[in-house]
Structure 1
Amino acid sequence: MGLFKAFKHTKNSAKKGQKQEQLVEPPDIPTFPVSFDMNKNRRYIKETLYYTEDLVEKSLRTELPGTCHLFYIETMSDTDKLNSYLYQKLRDIDSEVKLERMLQDMDSAKMVHLSDAVSELLSGKSILLLEGKGHCYILSTNSVVKRDIGEPDNEQVIRGSHSGFIENIGVNIQLIRNLISHPTLQVNYTTLGELSQTKTAMMYMEGRADPEVVDEIQRRLKKIKVDQLLNNGVLEEYLEDNIYSLFPQFISTERADRAALNLLDGRILILTDGDPTVLVLPVTFFSFFQSTDDYNSRWAAGNFFRLIRVISFLLAVTLPGIYIAIISFHFEIIPFGMTYVIKDAVEHIPYPPLVEAMIMELTLELIREAGIRLPTPIGQTIGIVGGLVIGDAVVNAGFISSIMIIVVALTAISSFVVPVHEMSMAMRLLRYPIMIMASMLGFLGIVFCLSLYLIHLCKLTSIGQPFFYPFAPLNAKGLLNRFIRLPHTVYVENSPKKKGKGQSQKS
């Protein structure tokens, strides 16, 4: 009994210790006003930053009495800007009036608390201390590292803009404002992450976005308490209505034109500094099957490809289950001419259809993940090896039927047609319950599983808005606008003068 108590005590202690190790306290910077004693100011800055070695301190001589001390983090500040704007001009300063005028040209700010200045120092700015003064100056010397604007690899289109977002939030907002030059376009900034201090922006158009949805998103953003927020993937889980749903409730895009179209449609964008993807919310289920090419091409072609995407979703989710149900239970529906062909293909396979399908689906997932993680030249080789060598080998060895190879190939191609990656991943997961139910109950199991999916879609919401609109709730006019892309002249002629609740005719 004593041994059990000791083991239990050790286990609980280990859990508590593990919890304490994982908990990271936010930085506690004590309030400290700028002192007239320069040595106290210098010691406070160095002790607050734990004497980090990339903190640079320079003593600058001017015509003013005393010495100026400049502090900056060399890995985050632009030293060329300091050389050209500060060092050379300080030599000619002979009065405090000229100094303040020169610092105003450098977009500086005066602060009386050194603790607030240290927080700005961590973002790449510089601190200028004057001897014998009870204030300091914050200089905008941030070093901005950004890549060139190019077309996103994940969302390529045939016709349309080829500019995509990058990891700089300022550039991303500029790309959107270049497409929408209207005074109603609003930008609200917030900072998330106790340690990362990530800058986040919410963009919407006043008069088009639903005010209740805007207030709800702001309320949820204020409730987020995390140590670090480095991308929109973390933010998405905190904003979702149902985090356990397999269906994505937001759209993430790297295309500036797509983000601008959603803004004009009354939706809201969430941008995060350091992440090239933008969250679009709230959305509906059918928004995931729309592409920019639908509106850049002829309206008849746009409608055709939109229908192809919806059909591909049904095929990617149900095709393996239909094959399993037919082979296991409903073989009587096979056409007479194909009976002997399918019989010769499956009769010598040692596994039941469910195991056969699971092996091929998991093999396809392994090939897909290997192709993503490896460099591009090697990834193409993996695709050739997986598609030709492995596929042909397993058929000749008698482990997998040739019909199953065709079914898995059609399923994989159908899952790639959807233009949004999040929905494509959901389709890959949704097919497994259908395959299991089809192996147990045949077509009845498929209908049962699809009914559960449909009930879940009808109950699902995106920021409080119905996710399966216009089917739930049913809206006849919405059905027409969501599925059919009318000519642009019809949109202009029938567009209302004033739109409410963020609903527009374009989806």
Structure 2
Amino acid sequence: MDQGRGEFVRRHLKKPKKLKETIELQRQIEKEVVGEITRNIDLLKSIFTDCSDVKFRPLKVEERTAYLIFIDGLIDNTSIQFNALHELLSETQIDDLTADYIQQKMVSISDVLEANQLAEIVKQVLDGNTILLVDGIAQALVLNAKGGERRAVAEPETETAVRGPREGFTESIAVNIALIRQKIRSSHLKLITREIGTETRTIIGVMYLDNLASPDLVAEVQKRLSRIKIDAILESGYIEELIEDEPRSLFPQIQNTERPDTVAGNLLEGRVAILVNGSPFTLILPTTFWQLLQANEDYYHRFHISIFIRALRILMIFLALMLPAIYIAVTTYHQEMIPTNLLYSIAASREAIPFPAFVEAMIMEIAFESLREAGLRLPKVIGQAVSILGALVIGQAAVEAGIVSAPMVIIVSLTGIASFTIPKFNLAITIRMLRFPMMVLAGLFGLFGVSIGSIMIVTHLCKLRSFGAPYFSPLGPLNWKELKDVFIRAPWWAMDRRPTQTIRENVKRQTDHLRPSPMNNE
């Protein structure tokens, strides 16, 4: 008993000591850098205890002890070698060595800052910068020589295009900003950065054109971002979920994209982009429902092709949402609506099926969604083959076993193909999720249930807002002038106005009378 109590006391007596050490260390960090380098290095080494990737590289600068402090893997070794070490280790005699002299004469790295507090040194080291401390100098020099392994700019995998730029965002926010700057070379393009996440300190960038974006919209974005108090931001999806208007809605209220040209096009319409360091997906807001049905290459093809493709997409989104529900309703409650020959064919195929149409559809839809998810998670070499072969084998086996009918396999296959035509994945998966309650309503109430479900969805879409902009605009509320870029894509010479959901002033996009005409030889 005494031994157990003694162990309990010893175990808990260690906590105040550890707490005192932590508080004392924090107090020391908040102090300014002193000229005695030994004290600075000892304190920094105690802060980075058990951090074997943090390197303290000793060297001599004009017979003085100096240290380079950096994190291995986050710096450009070549830049440090040729732009810092080469000059610092050269044999020259300087009577009065100062931080300004080192910065101006001995270091050729373009971006060099001074840090006066140890807390700032710790922050800069964790950000991937290199710190130079020299004995006798009460300032630290921050050398911006960030490097390390980065994914190269490549074609985005989630938004492939037949025509258009092939470059996509990477995980580096600096690269992503540069890609947008290459598209919009204007002094009106503004960037506001901040850090979010107490542990990750993720850099968040807000980009907009100050001559087009509404100041109220920019202020609202900044307000919502400033409200976020969280320990980590690992992907832009964190930000999306924390700032959207109606988090309970299934419909995405913020567009995400991997394409710089898509971001540039939206910025030119007065929208705001949010870039997150570590994520190749940039957020665009405000967003409308019809915007999620548009692809970037709609604006690169001739308008005749774009009109046909958009009409096909609208038909496909209707089929992806309604086709199984309509089949269930018609075959269960409204057989008189089916042509006689087709009704005989369906009845013959379902003669040996032991389940009603609703159960049959649920079995096939769940199996199809499972195969699709499995194909995404498997390695790319075998993922597509497994999903395609699995669908063929399971569908054929289910029909031969008399579990499902052949028409149901056709319906589910058409529904799956239709969902693949939706350009944005977040809208496509929303439609796939809504398909199941629509099937339930069809199984319970027939076409009346389908009508009720459709009215509820449209009503919900009309009520939604994305950062003040009506989500279903310009159809709800109706704006005839802006329908030229919804169901169809008017030719560029006819789209002389920007959308008014995001822009109130500077609406004019181009000069009038740009319509091409044949050359007059007279």
TM (norm. structure 2) is: 0.87
1:113 is matched with which residue? 117
2:187 is matched with which residue? 183
1:21 is matched with which residue? none
1:346 deviates by: 1.4
Give, in whole Å, the separation in 2 of the partners of 1:54 and 1:127. 15
Give, in whole Å, the separation in 2 of the partners of 1:151 and 1:38. 48
Which residues in structure 2 correspond to 1:357-506 (within 5 Å)?
357-492=361-496, 500=504
Give, in whole Å, the separation in 2 of the partners of 1:263 and 1:230. 24
Give, in whole Å, the separation in 2 of the partners of 1:333 and 1:505. 50
Give, in whole Å, the separation in 2 of the partners of 1:499 and 1:467. 15
1:499 deviates by: 5.6
Which residues in structure 2 correspond to 1:21-420 (within 5 Å)?
30-64=29-63, 66-92=64-90, 93-95=92-94, 96=97, 98-102=101-105, 105-106=108-109, 107-420=111-424
Is 2:269–2:503's contact at 8 Å kept on the other side of the alignment?
Answer: no
- Compared CA separation, residues 90 and 204, structure 1 to 2 (3 A): same
1:211 deviates by: 1.5
- Compared CA separation, residues 28 and 222, structure 1 to 2 (3 A): farther
1:134 deviates by: 2.0
Is 1:250–1:462's contact at 8 Å kept on the other side of the alignment?
Answer: yes
Size of the aligned set, in residue pairs, is 477
Give, in whole Å, the separation in 2 of the partners of 1:103 and 1:216. 46
- Please give the per-residue CA displacement for 1:240-267, whole angstroms capped at 9, x wherever unaligned: 1011111011111111111111111111
- Compared CA separation, residues 412 and 82, structure 1 to 2 (3 A): same
Query: Could you say what secondary structure the match of 2:292 adopts?
Result: helix
Is 2:35–2:136's contact at 8 Å kept on the other side of the alignment?
Answer: yes
Is 2:353–2:404's contact at 8 Å kept on the other side of the alignment?
Answer: yes
- Please give the per-residue CA displacement for 1:49-99, whole angstroms capped at 9, x wherever unaligned: 2241122212211325x3112222223222222222222211234322542
Give, in whole Å, the separation in 2 of the partners of 1:226 and 1:40. 34
Query: Could you say what secondary structure the match of 1:61 adopts?
Result: strand
Query: Could you say what secondary structure the match of 1:271 adopts?
Result: strand
- Please give the per-residue CA displacement for 1:16-73, whole angstroms capped at 9, x wherever unaligned: xxxxxxxxxxx96840211233222112101222241122212211325x31122222
Q: Tell me the C-alpha RMSD between the 2 structures.
A: 2.1
Is 2:88–2:106's contact at 8 Å kept on the other side of the alignment?
Answer: no
Letter in 2 for 1:490: A
Is 2:352–2:402's contact at 8 Å kept on the other side of the alignment?
Answer: yes
Letter in 2 for 1:274: G
Give, in whole Å, the separation in 1 of the partners of 2:508 and 2:484. 13
Query: Could you say what secondary structure the match of 2:146 adopts?
Result: coil
* Structure 2 spans left out of the alignment, 5+ residues: 1-24, 511-522
Is 2:321–2:431's contact at 8 Å kept on the other side of the alignment?
Answer: yes
- Please give the per-residue CA displacement for 1:163-205, whole angstroms capped at 9, x wherever unaligned: 1111111111111111111111111111111111111111111
- Percent identity among equivalent residues? 36
1:503 deviates by: 6.2
1:474 deviates by: 2.1
Give, in whole Å, the separation in 1 of the partners of 2:506 and 2:160. 28
Is 2:61–2:134's contact at 8 Å kept on the other side of the alignment?
Answer: no
1:473 deviates by: 1.8
- Compared CA separation, residues 55 and 480, structure 1 to 2 (3 A): closer
Deviation above 6 Å: which 4+ runs of structure 1? 502-506
- Compared CA separation, residues 416 and 28, structure 1 to 2 (3 A): farther
- Please give the per-residue CA displacement for 1:93-112, whole angstroms capped at 9, x wherever unaligned: 43225423235632221222
Give, in whole Å, the separation in 2 of the partners of 1:36 and 1:458. 65
1:495 deviates by: 7.3
Is 2:234–2:279's contact at 8 Å kept on the other side of the alignment?
Answer: yes
Query: Could you say what secondary structure the match of 1:483 adopts?
Result: coil
Letter in 2 for 1:38: I
Give, in whole Å, the separation in 1 of the partners of 2:433 and 2:498. 39
Letter in 2 for 1:45: L
Query: Could you say what secondary structure the match of 1:348 adopts?
Result: coil
Is 1:110–1:137's contact at 8 Å kept on the other side of the alignment?
Answer: yes
1:132 deviates by: 2.3
2:22 is matched with which residue? none
Letter in 1 for 2:104: R
1:413 deviates by: 0.7
- Compared CA separation, residues 77 and 495, structure 1 to 2 (3 A): closer
Give, in whole Å, the separation in 2 of the partners of 1:54 and 1:294. 48
Per mean C-alpha deviation after superposition, the further-off stretch among 440-449 and 110-119 is: 110-119
Is 2:129–2:145's contact at 8 Å kept on the other side of the alignment?
Answer: yes
Query: Could you say what secondary structure the match of 1:287 adopts?
Result: helix
Is 1:267–1:502's contact at 8 Å kept on the other side of the alignment?
Answer: no
